[in-house]
Structure 1
Amino acid sequence: MKIETIAIHAGNHTDASTKAVVQPIVMATTFERDEDGGFSSGYSYSRAANPNRAALEQVLAKLENGAEAASFSSGNAAGMSVFQSLDPGTHIIAPDDMYHGLRNQLKALFAGILEFDFIDVNDSDVLQAHIKPNTGIIWIETPSNPLLKITDIKKVAGIANKHNLKVVCDNTFATPVCQSPLALGADMVMHSATKYFGGHSDLMGGALITAEKSDWWEKIRNVQTMGGAIPSPMDCYYLVRSIKTLPYRVRGHVHNAQLLAQFLESHPRVDRVLYPGLSSHPQHEIARAQMHAFGAMLSFTLKGGEEEAKKVVNAVKIFTRATSLGGVESLIEHRSSVEGPDTKTPLNLLRVSVGLEHIDDLIADLKQAMA
């Protein structure tokens, strides 16, 4: 099936008793046992499994063409489950431009338990030089947050295979509509389902999708079940509902992002636009080769420095000054002030999540904000 059909049908099950075409929400925390003590329904306790979570995980796995998916209460919970599944002392190689929530999680919660280096994973020589006997995984994020760096997934996966390492790809910015990391050699994909899967800035969730079932995947499943950082049945229901429109929503986002990036690149007050769909992007050719579409996130820097960036972000009328991304509304933020004192993000950079408003209105809003 094509992705539009998968999105609509893979997470939906006709109710056996009522024949309702939309799967009902099962709020029960526990399920009745059979007379022999078994659970012929397949469900015993909702922390371990729930019909709505099963439906969500089924559609997530099929969207990424993976063997199985595990859903979590947030993207950070999904990422943390990967780190918790590793043996103490395992070394992680991570990108130098990485979502600050997961980077800070490693530094604050796993320091002294795991080892990690933040490097330019696209530089093969640098990557090879940082591989140690205790290295376990290479974490990649492409496009990256907030500098929109593109990682050559095939190249990194090839190096990882030579050293018997696993590659985990944060595919949040791209979504399965724009990029298929498992098909390019990644072993696992992570998503913040809060973003494009949810699509309306009103729920939280996270997901991991594995290329194959393995002992490592079972460890992650155990972390999910025993740790209990799971989405509620209601959140699972709404995620399944939102995913049905994911392919068409993302295409609208991408259309707007390309046009907005082109406008910004031509504006005299803009220093640089970071968007993989522009030929000026340093990894544009890699993006063309491995992405189905270029995504809907972009960043740009202003010639007037931090002061001008803050003036612009405070002058918008349609864009909302807010963190997060992937909703139908366009968001803009001064990113370095969100990331904290150790940020490496340029002080004059604004990050934009391009929404589904009419592109003429979005361009007019940024034009007046920079006037």
Structure 2
Amino acid sequence: MKDHPLHKDTVVIHEGYEDQEHYGSLAVPLYQTSTYSFENAAQGASRFSGNEEGYIYSRLGNPTVRVLEERIAAIEDGAAALAFGSGMAAVSAILTHVTKAGDHVLCSRGIYGCTFGLLKIMEDKYKITHDLIRMDNEEEIEKFIRPETVCIYLETPINPTMELVNLEAVVNVGKKHGLQVIVDNTFTSPYLQNPISAGADFVLHSATKYINGHGDVVGGLLVGKEKEEIARIRGTIQKDYGGIMSPFDAWLLIRGLKTLPIRMERHSNNAEKLIAFLKNEKHVEEIYYPFDKDNPQFDIAKRQMRAGGGLISFTVKGGMQAAQRFMDHLQLIKIAVSLGDAETLIQHPATMTHSGVPAEDRLEMGITDSLLRLSVGLEHPDDLIRDMKTAFMALD
């Protein structure tokens, strides 16, 4: 099998685990332990010095967590990975790793509200500045590079506007100017998009979302193209900041990851059916979805993504009042701010996930008061369409 690379559908089930080492257990065991004993004092000293591989303390490594890390690194085409207690712990770790006081970060013009908040903290405390910019082409990006710029941080698709960033252009600029490229890949999952293969240095996920898929875990993952770089983050930022993932959460994510391919196919297929419905709904103004053929960025989507995924954003005629009235009349679809669950979820970014972003910045990101973000679940699409039809009738 080693002579034949495995498909991702197979890797998500098998990578990083040998049952011979665990009494033949087919399921990955849960090592719910905080510390590990040594055979003798010399072994303990050798492990602490790094001369011998092995586990010491679960903040520094855990067998269950390690299986998850190896599996996610494989399906993201990376060299190594780290698991964190939340997506924001992963974001914090990588931005802390690549920056120092006085540095500058280039960001896609739209980012998750808490990532925006973290960047403001870094600016206020450590004078690490940032610019939120469009990344349509190389020339546009290069205009904002300063001598103190150290990295390019982006989401694609962007939360919550579904705007795409041209990964090829960003990677070209990064290589030309010696900037590290960091991609938040949460919205697509590693099954639909692999930025490291496109040349990115780091990829991160809120594992809470599609990787878990069942709405019962909070976690984050960071994948790097260089094994040594990930080892440095493990031995410094993660070790000393302590934002680790628990073994039980890792075990749940390993279980969820096994069905990622079939879930992403169903999410994408359902989303396309809902797009067709929304295009004929009189109360809808604009629809934002990567694989919508009417999307001006459709060609970029086809180059970077294998399918459109399960997230749709759209605007409702009548502004915030109409958008919230529509939400309040949904019955099957739940009002909640996460995504990637089996259940279909909807939220109002301006007053929920991005409420902490100043109004002027929100508008610059394209987040209007009439914008809604829909995370399409695994239900039958006919039931979802029926629920939305009923809610739209409340706007008549």
Q: In structure 1, give the amino acid aligned to 2:333.
A: F
Q: Tell me how far 1:128 sits from its aligned partner.
A: 0.7
SS in 2 for 1:236: helix
| Amino acid paired to 1:204 | V
* Structure 2 gaps, min length 5: 1-5
- Alpha carbons of structure 1 residues 173 and 17: separation in structure 2 relative to 1, 3 Å: closer
Partner of 2:263: 249
1:370 paired residue number: 392
Query: What aligned pairs does 1:1-371 form with structure 2 within 5 A after superposition?
Result: 1-14=6-19, 16=21, 18-38=23-43, 39=47, 42-85=54-97, 86-113=99-126, 114-215=128-229, 218-219=232-233, 221-338=235-352, 339-340=354-355, 342=358, 343-344=362-363, 345-371=367-393
Q: What are the superposed Cα offsets for residues 138-181 of structure 1, whole Å, 9 maximum, x if unpaired? A: 01100110000111101110011110111101100011111111
Task: Return the offset for 1:8.
Answer: 0.4
1:88 maps to a residue whose letter is A
With normalisation by structure 1, the TM-score equals 0.96
Three-state SS of the structure 1 residue aligned to 2:17 is coil
Cα distance in 1 for residues equivalent to 2:77 and 2:57? 28
Cα pair distance change 1:19/1:279, threshold 3 Å: same
Query: 2 CA distance for matches of 1:82 and 1:88?
Result: 15
Q: Aligned partner of 2:116: which letter?
A: R
Work out the CA distance in 2 between the residues paired with 1:216 and 1:161: 19
Provide the C-alpha distance between the structure 1 equivalents of 2:299 and 2:28, rounded to a whole number of angstroms.
43
SS of alignment partner, residue 306 of structure 1: helix
* Structure 1 residues 17 and 277: alpha-carbon distance in aligned structure 2, compared to 1, 3 A threshold: closer
Distance in structure 2 (CA, Å) of the matches to 1:24 and 1:216: 25
Instruction: Kindly state the Cα deviation for residue 109 of structure 1 after the two structures are TM-superposed.
Output: 4.2
The one-letter amino acid paired with 2:324 is: K
Q: Contact 2:156–2:183 (CA<8 Å) still a contact in 1? A: yes
Judged with a 3 Å threshold, the aligned counterparts in structure 2 of structure 1 residues 136 and 41 are, in CA distance, closer, same or farther, namely: closer
- Summarize the Cα distance change of 1:249–1:216 in structure 2 as closer, same or farther, 3 Å threshold: closer
Q: Distance in 1 between matches of 2:302 and 2:22?
A: 48
Asked whether the equivalents of residues 13 and 55 of structure 1 are also in contact (C-alpha less than 8 Å), the reply is no
Alignment identity in percent? 36
The one-letter code matched in structure 1 to 2:294 is S
Task: After superposition, give the CA deviation of every residue in 1:208-263 in whole Å (9 maximum; x if it has no partner).
Answer: 10112345761465211221101100001110111011111111001001111121
After superposition, give the CA deviation of every residue in 1:305-362 in whole Å (9 maximum; x if it has no partner). 2111111010001100010100000000111101226133110011000000000001
Letter paired with 1:208: L
Decide whether aligned partners of structure 1 residues 154 and 145 sit closer, same or farther in structure 2, where only a CA change above 3 A counts: same
CA contact (8 A) 1:262 1:278 kept: no
Distance in 2 (alpha carbons) for counterparts of 1:217 and 1:335: 36
For the 8 Å contact 2:81–2:222, the answer to whether it is kept is yes
The 3-state SS of whatever aligns with 1:370 is helix
The CA deviation string for residues 15-66 of structure 1, in whole angstroms up to 9 with x for no partner, is 6353211121111111111224225671011100000111010001001010
| Partner Cα separation in structure 1 for residue 243 and residue 350 of structure 2 | 29
Q: Is the 8 A contact 1:273 1:299 kept in 2?
A: yes
CA distance in 1, matches of 2:327, 2:235: 42
Distance 2:233 2:215 in 1: 31
After TM superposition, the structure 1 stretch with the greater mean CA deviation from structure 2, 116-125 or 55-64, is 116-125
**Higher mean C-alpha deviation, range 88-97 or range 108-117:** 108-117
Alpha carbons of 1:110 and 1:220: their partners in 2 closer, same or farther (altered >3 Å)? farther
Question: Once structures 1 and 2 are overlaid, which stretch shifts more, 31-40 or 79-88?
Answer: 31-40
Q: Which 4+ runs in 1 deviate beyond 6 A? A: none
Alpha-carbon separation, structure 2, partners of 1:110 and 1:214 = 28
1:253–1:354: 8 Å Cα contact kept in structure 2?
Answer: yes
Aligned AA for 2:355? G
Q: How many residues align?
A: 371
Residue 107 of structure 1 aligns to a residue in which SS?
Answer: helix
Match of 2:3 in 1: none
Q: Distance in 1 between matches of 2:86 and 2:202?
A: 17
Distance 1:194 1:64 in 2: 17
| SS class of match (1:182) | coil
